[in-house]
A and B are shown apart, each in its own frame.
Chain A
Amino acid sequence: SAVISQKPSRDICQRGTSLTIQCQVDSQVTMMFWYRQQPGQSLTLIATANQGSEATYESGFVIDKFPISRPNLTFSTLTVSNMSPEDSSIYLCSVDQGMNTEAFFGQGTRLTVV
């Protein structure tokens, strides 16, 4: 199993500002994913963080709004840029170590934009 540390666990931010969320894993992993969970909704995949290259974004998500970095096999960041109240959600990091394995999830970052 993998232990995921996500920071911050929660934050309240002013509209128009940006927040960077960190995801640290205790072991090297193949895949890292970022999800958004809006209030009362299921998880929506934002992007797959690729080590050493640009992230792969899902439909409806763009790099300018959600820039992602993945400098190595244990760390990734997600930035929520130019925030509006509609960005208020839980953001979750997830990791997977390969083919016939399972994904593990962090406890999430609860973001409130005011």
Chain B
Amino acid sequence: DAKTTQPTSMDCAEGRAANLPCNHSTISGNEYVYWYRQIHSQGPQYIIHGLKNNETNEMASLIITEDRKSSTLILPHATLRDTAVYYCIVRRGTGTYKYIFGTGTRLKVLA
């Protein structure tokens, strides 16, 4: 499973877009990029995932570079409730797989 690298922490002003980067330079062709977040000590919450194409849902957008070595999670209009730790995970798409969490990015949305 590919390893991911994320900044330790980021701040974002309320109402602005939050752009969270993730590096996964050793990703292989059949591995997906997943994003989760954890608010305080709750169980992680699924946000979005993708393989090659950019993806958008009601929570966020996922932009994956053409070479797939990095991605960016975009929260279009950050609110105070988006303050959380965000995890980027690379998961195999075939056979047996597992979700390995790195250290994540602690996002703080400022009023």
- Which residue numbers of A lie inside 8 Å of B, CB to CB? 4, 31, 33, 35, 37, 42-45, 48, 56, 90, 92, 94, 96, 99-100, 102-108, 110
CA A73 to CA B43, docked complex, whole Å: 21
Give chain B's interface secondary structure class: loop
A48 touches B100 (CB 8 A): no
Knowing A42-B102, A45-B98, the reply to whether A99 touches B44 (Cβ < 8 A) is no
A42 touches B93 (CB 8 A): no
B93 touches A102 (CB 8 A): no
When distances are taken between beta carbons in the complex, the residues of chain A under 8 Å from B97 are 31
When distances are taken between beta carbons in the complex, the residues of chain B under 8 Å from A56 are 96
CA A32 to CA B105, docked complex, whole Å: 25
| Interface size class of chain B, counting residues whose CB lies under 8 Å from the partner chain | 20 to 34
When distances are taken between beta carbons in the complex, the residues of chain A under 8 Å from B104 are 42
B44 touches A100 (CB 8 A): no
A105 touches B43 (CB 8 A): yes
Q: How far is the CB of B42 from chain A (nearest CB, A)?
A: 6
A-B contact count (CB 8 A): 53
Mask: chain B, 46-60; 1 = CB below 8 Å from A; 0 = not = 100101000000000
Question: For B94, B99, B101, B102, which residue has the most chain A Cβ atoms within 10 angstroms?
Answer: B99
12 residue pairs of the A-B complex, CB under 8 angstroms, read: A4-B43, A42-B101, A43-B44, A56-B96, A90-B41, A102-B46, A102-B49, A103-B46, A104-B46, A105-B44, A105-B45, A106-B43
B46 touches A99 (CB 8 A): no
Q: B103 an interface residue at 8 Å Cβ cutoff?
A: yes
